[in-house]
Each structure stands twice: as structure tokens, then as C-alpha cells.
Amino acid sequence: MKPDSDLSLLYGPAAVDLPRVTQLIGSVAKEPELEFLQKMLSAALSGTGKLLRPAISILSARLGTYNIELVAPLAASVELLHTATLVHDDVIDEADQRRGQPTPNSLFGNAASVMLGDYMFANAADFIARTDRPIVVRKFADAIMLIAQGELKQDSTAFEYSPDINRYLDRIKGKTAVLFATAAEGGALVCDAPETTTTAMREYGMNLGMAFQVIDDILDFTGTAEEMGKPVGSDLKSGTLTLPAILFLQKYPTENPIKRAFEGIRTNANLDKAIKDILNDEEIIAESKAVARSMCDAALTSLQTIPQCEEKQILENLVEYTFERNS
């Protein structure tokens, strides 16, 4: 199976082995005897994106003694874990669409979708066990705990009025960045890369993951529904304060439509006004992008200890791709 030409440009040498990863992920939907579960899995796994996290795992692994038999299960586990968290996210947010496609909860109901996510978590754990690296299994378990904490923090603070940026940064670290860090560090660990490389890749993944989420949160306001596959401002409408909204709260501490909406005053109208005001405020969007840029720069700095090679160049390119993406 030949790699997609677009992915070859984006991921360089990692693209060659991505089909092995997608094959493993696809096998999950074929294994269960229960036809209804097969149908749910097929629906959930059909919407996988550009496989950024698996590609990072492969690139990181190539910095050590590369072994695709170890890397493919790791990369598959990372993508399955990511997809499982999205399934649970959509249940919590009562989302009808993701990437322009119906969500499992809209197709099969909330109860079935929770169990679907749990089944995918179990398969991700099975894949990670195939690496036969106890430290990688432990890192994977730590990642699941931090992701769960991040989701709980987001859910428990829904519609809570707080302009605290540090709380936001702590939340996205658990929600998004830790999985990037696990993907990057895990690849280096399973292929016995030097300790300095393993440390550098974890820092790279963490910083890149933070930047990825900040850009995602900016695009929630500046992107179109067609580009993002979900309504504009959907995070704010679900009660989640992201960086642009927090900066908006700080800039206008009184008579803020977000505050009024969260207090239950003409909620929909005030949220619509807040979304429009944030979108039209160039200063807030620019400041949000500056935060993402600083995280991208930190990711690039993390790579300085790694000798120059094609994989390093691709990893650097992925930083710029993350910053410049529009969907």
C-alpha cells in the first residue's frame, strides 16, 4: 500500500509506514463478534484525520534503532486513545457532528457511545502492551489518567466565569498535550533512542500539543463550520472558556456578554454576541496567536539537542504546519 502523496510531503519518511498503523487501527473494527459493535467502531474510526500523532511516534522512533513491529502498535494505540477521548467528548458535549460527520452518540445514543469509547481504550491498552516495554506501558497509563483529569476539569468548570489563563493552560496540558508528549516520547523509548533524545522528544510533544490546542481554540472562532466540521464558537456555547474567550474577559471585565450568558441572562443571544465580538477583535486573535507561537518556538528549541537529519527537519516542519493550519 502506497502512502498518500499529501502525507508523504507532510511526514516524509514516516508516511511509508503509516499504512501499517491504519491497518492495525482498522483491525479493531473487524474483531468483535457483535455486529452492532462493529458498526459503531467503523463509524468512529472512519473519521480519523491526518494521523499527526502516529506520524510523530514514527519520526521519533527513527531517531533510535528503528523497528516498525514495535512502533506500529504504539502509534495505533496513540490514535485509538485519541479517538476514544473524542467519542467521550462528544457524549459530554452532546455534539451532533465532528469533522462534518455524525458523531457516534448522535447515531447510536450516549450509553452505547460511552461503552464504545471504553472498548477503544481497552484496544489501545492491548496495542501498547505489544511493545513489551513496561516503561512505555506506564507512560501510557499516566497519559490516560492525565487526559481523564483534563476532561473532568473541563466538565466541572463548564459555564464557570473565570479569566484564569493558568487554569486553562493546565487543562489543555491534560486534555491534549500529554498525548502528543506520549506519542513523541514513546517512539523514542520503544526504539531505544538515547536518553537525551527521549527527553527532547517528550518536551517537543508537550509544547507542540499545547500549541496545537491553542490554535484549535483560535480556529473555533475564526474558522468556518465547513472547515472545522462543527459550528463556530461551539466550545464557548458548551460553556468552555478557551484562550480567546479568556483574553476577551480580561479586556472587558465589566459588561461582558460571556459573563451575562454564564449567569443565565439571554444566554444564546449573549453567546452569539461574544463570539462575534471575539472574531472581530484583531488584538485578541493576535495575542492568542502569539501565545501559540511561543509554544511552537519552545517545541523547536526542544529539538536543538538532536543531530541534524531528515526526521528532525520534518519534526521542525510539523511545528510550522501546526501554527499555520486552518482546520
pTM: 0.93
pLDDT over threshold 80, residue 47: no
Taking residue 290's Cβ as centre, other Cβ atoms within 10 Å add up to: 10
Dihedral over alpha carbons 119, 125, 127, 132 (to 10 degrees):
-160
Sign of CA dihedral 224, 225, 230, 234: positive
- pLDDT-derived band at 1, boundaries 50, 70, 90: very low
Which helix (H) or strand (E) segment is 98 a member of? strand 97-98
Domain ranges of the chain: 5-324
DSSP class of 308 = P
The pLDDT of residue 293 is: 98
The pLDDT of residue 40 is: 87
Query: Which residues 6+ apart lie within 8 Å of 183 measured at CB?
Result: 53, 54, 56, 57, 60, 74, 75, 78, 205
pLDDT over threshold 80, residue 97: no
The pLDDT of residue 35 is: 85
Q: For the domain covering 5-324, report its CATH number.
A: 1.10.600.10
- CA-based nearest residue to 66, from 25, 22, 17, 19: 17
The pLDDT of residue 270 is: 96
The pLDDT of residue 176 is: 93
Over residues 83-96, the pLDDT tens digits come to 998 888 888 877 78
Over residues 193-252, the pLDDT tens digits come to 999 999 999 999 999 999 999 999 999 999 887 777 778 999 999 899 999 999 999 999
Could you give the CA distance from residue 49 to residue 238 in angstroms, rounded to a whole number? 23
pLDDT over threshold 90, residue 266: yes
* Mean pLDDT estimate for the chain: 91
**Higher per-residue confidence, 226 vs 275:** 275
**Higher per-residue confidence, 291 vs 114:** 291
- CA-based nearest residue to 186, from 305, 73, 31, 34: 73
Over residues 184-193, the pLDDT tens digits come to 999 999 999 9
DSSP class of 174 = I
Q: Report percent pLDDT > 90 for the chain.
A: 68
**Which of 118-122, 149-153, 297-301, 310-314 shows the lowest per-residue confidence on average (mean pLDDT)?**
149-153
The pLDDT of residue 220 is: 93
